Amino acid sequence: MNSATTTRPSKEAEVLETIREFFTRSSDFNGIPIGSLESNADLTSTELSNILESLVNQGHVTLTFASVSANPHIKRTADLAPIEQLPRLANALHGADQCCAYPSADVIRHATDLSQYDERPFTRRLALAEPQLAPVFFSLDVLKRYFDDPRYHFAFNDYEGSISVVPAHYESSEMRERDKVFLASFGIGYDKHRRRVVAVFLRYLSDLTREHQQSWRSYMVDEPCVINSDYEQSAIWGEWPDHRSAYDALMANEAEINKLCKVIGKPPLFRVTARPKALAPMLLPTKRNFNGFTLLFDQLLSDNISRDFFRGDIDLERRVPAKDGVIERQQKGTLALLEEWLDSRYSDATGKRVGKEIGELMRDVRKLRQAPAHKADDDAYDDRYPREQDELVSRGVTSLTKLRLVLMSHPAAQSRYEPPEWLDSSRIVLY
């Protein structure tokens, strides 16, 4: 009995040091498999179980399991509570589950020289055994240098994106090595006011050069934030997102309207239905970006309407008296044609014509587009611009959905057309 009580502390210290040393010397901040611990320390399963249980309860060690995370050799997500770790340990020791052990941050600080990470703040956090997929949140400004610099390829799709160097510049000696960075993935998060922030996992931040890590650190948000659930679901758990973007729904409605046009024997109403890359949630809240969006949005709405759709149904021109008594013929605008065509054929249940209601959003967008064209305003930074853009997109989806439903009431469409289920569901969101 006395022998056991005197030898166990030394064995416990030996196991703890083995766990720490394996972690700090590994190439990717890996945990040590408990099978290796058992053989290296010359312990029985029972002895190792008792030691690990003690270390976990003291907060010196944490355990990861394949049954929780597909790859226990890296700490992907937050630690399980000790009360959840210990029951799984027995299964792991009997070969029913893979398990790896990690030192705590305090253990690492006490016995490890971390000075090599002084200029790499996010790599340092991994070196202190933080989860590799722990999200870090930044203000949107952090993206500006990459968004504005043509040497970088900036990709963004509603709730996730990536940043890389354009190949020609990556291979060029004129671009400094410290600026040749690759951010495999970033996502959208939200602060307590539901304003967008940038969310990046530590794993990807660690891949940045030391100069860029220090730059990113200066944009960190110092208040509680949450990561977008669809980004978390796809990036961490590898599952399909639950929702669809309103920006997708906007262009999908135009594509479906063109299908309906074919069903009812009409030319396509919209000339282009593919979603352009520039049609995306605003990441940099500036007046210049908002004005650029209103221009693009108008091009995708009223400017995108084909006059051929109305040919033979209504007059494409209006007669306007001139000063000398001569009657001039002027082309009607595409939005005026759409409203007139709708009013000549459709009304709601109360008998009200639907043209003005469906066209209202398009008229508002046209006014917004024309305003910056006649006034040389300075650029401005304001958090309201992303909200205004999202509101316009939401109204656009509503307007195009109403138009699609109107065309679906055509006798030829009722038995020959079925819309995608998601397009009329509650799954459409603004990220």
pLDDT tens sequence across 376-415: 567 898 889 999 999 999 999 999 999 999 999 999 998 8
- Looking at the fold, whether 102 and 79 belong to one and the same domain comes out as yes
- Looking at the fold, whether 227 and 276 belong to one and the same domain comes out as no
Per DSSP, what are the bridge partners of residue 377? none
Put residue 89 in one of left, alpha, beta given phi > 0 → left and psi -120 to 50 → alpha: alpha
- Looking at the fold, whether 392 and 362 belong to one and the same domain comes out as yes
Tokens (6 digits) for 122:
């996010």
Total domains present in the chain = 3
Considering only the C-alpha atoms of the chain, give the largest distance between any 2 of them, rounded to a whole number of Å: 120
Tokens 């893979």 sit on residue: 98
Per-residue pLDDT tens for 76-131? Answer: 999 999 999 999 998 898 888 899 999 999 999 999 999 999 999 999 999 999 99
**Comparing 104-108, 147-151, 248-252, 292-296, which segment has the lowest mean pLDDT?**
147-151
Mean pLDDT of the chain: 92
pLDDT at position 19 over 60: yes
The domain boundary residue, chosen from 188, 218, 235: 235
Instruction: Give the integer Cα–Cα distance in Å for 226 and 189.
Output: 5
- Looking at the fold, whether 84 and 210 belong to one and the same domain comes out as no
The domain boundary residue, chosen from 92, 111, 130: 111
- Looking at the fold, whether 196 and 143 belong to one and the same domain comes out as yes
Percent of the chain with pLDDT over 70: 97
| Among the listed residues 100, 78, 74, the one whose alpha carbon sits nearest the alpha carbon of residue 89 | 100
Q: How confident is the model at residue 375 (pLDDT cuts 50, 70, 90)?
A: low
Per DSSP, what are the bridge partners of residue 155? 162
- Looking at the fold, whether 226 and 264 belong to one and the same domain comes out as no
CB hemisphere CA count around 6 (13 angstroms): 3
Give me the mean pLDDT over the 46-74 stretch: 94
The domain boundary residue, chosen from 111, 145, 167: 111
Percent of the chain with pLDDT over 90: 82
Give me the mean pLDDT over the 339-350 stretch: 90
Per-residue pLDDT tens for 223-259? Answer: 999 999 999 999 999 899 999 999 999 999 999 999 9
- Looking at the fold, whether 223 and 304 belong to one and the same domain comes out as no
- Looking at the fold, whether 278 and 376 belong to one and the same domain comes out as yes
pLDDT at position 429 over 50: yes
Q: What is the pLDDT, as a whole number, of residue 374?
A: 55
CB hemisphere CA count around 136 (13 angstroms): 23
Gyration radius from the chain CA atoms: 30
Q: What is the pLDDT, as a whole number, of residue 10?
A: 87
| Among the listed residues 382, 367, 305, the one whose alpha carbon sits nearest the alpha carbon of residue 338 | 305
Phi then psi for 268, rounded to 5 degrees? Answer: -60, 140
Q: Residue 335, class by beta-carbon neighbours within 10 Å (0-12 exposed, 13-18 middle, 19+ buried)? A: buried
pLDDT at position 4 over 90: no
Instruction: Give the integer Cα–Cα distance in Å for 68 and 300.
Output: 46
Q: Look up the domain containing 177 and give its range.
A: 115-235
- Looking at the fold, whether 228 and 251 belong to one and the same domain comes out as no
- Looking at the fold, whether 260 and 230 belong to one and the same domain comes out as no
| Among the listed residues 375, 363, 389, 140, the one whose alpha carbon sits nearest the alpha carbon of residue 289 | 389
Look at strands 244-245 and 428-429 and give their pairing.
Answer: parallel
- Looking at the fold, whether 398 and 249 belong to one and the same domain comes out as yes
- Looking at the fold, whether 422 and 278 belong to one and the same domain comes out as yes
Per-residue pLDDT tens for 27-39? Answer: 999 999 998 988 8
pLDDT at position 150 over 60: yes
3-class secondary structure per residue, the chain: CHHHHHHHHHHHHHHHHHHHHHHHHCCCCECEEHHHHHHHCCCCHHHHHHHHHHHHHCCCEEEEECCCCCCCCECCCCCCCHHHHHHHHHHHHCCCCCEEEEECHHHHHHHCCCHHHCCCHHHHHHHCCCCCCCEEEECHHHHHHHHHCCCEEEEEECCEEEEEECHHHHCCCCCCHHHCCCEEEEEEEECCCCCEEEEEEHHHHHCCCHHHHHHHHCCECCCCCEECHHHHHHHCCCCCCCCEEHHHHHHHHHHHHHHHHHHCCCCCCECCCCCCCCCCCCCCCEHHHHHHHHHHHHHHCHHHECHHHHCCCCCCEEEEECCCCCEEEEECCHHHHHHHHHHCCCECCCCCECHHHHHHHHHHHHHHHHHHHCCCCCCCECCHHHHHHHHHHHHHHHHHHHHHHHHHCCCCCCCCCCCCHHHHCCCEECC
Residue 369 near residue 342 (C-beta atoms within 8 A): no
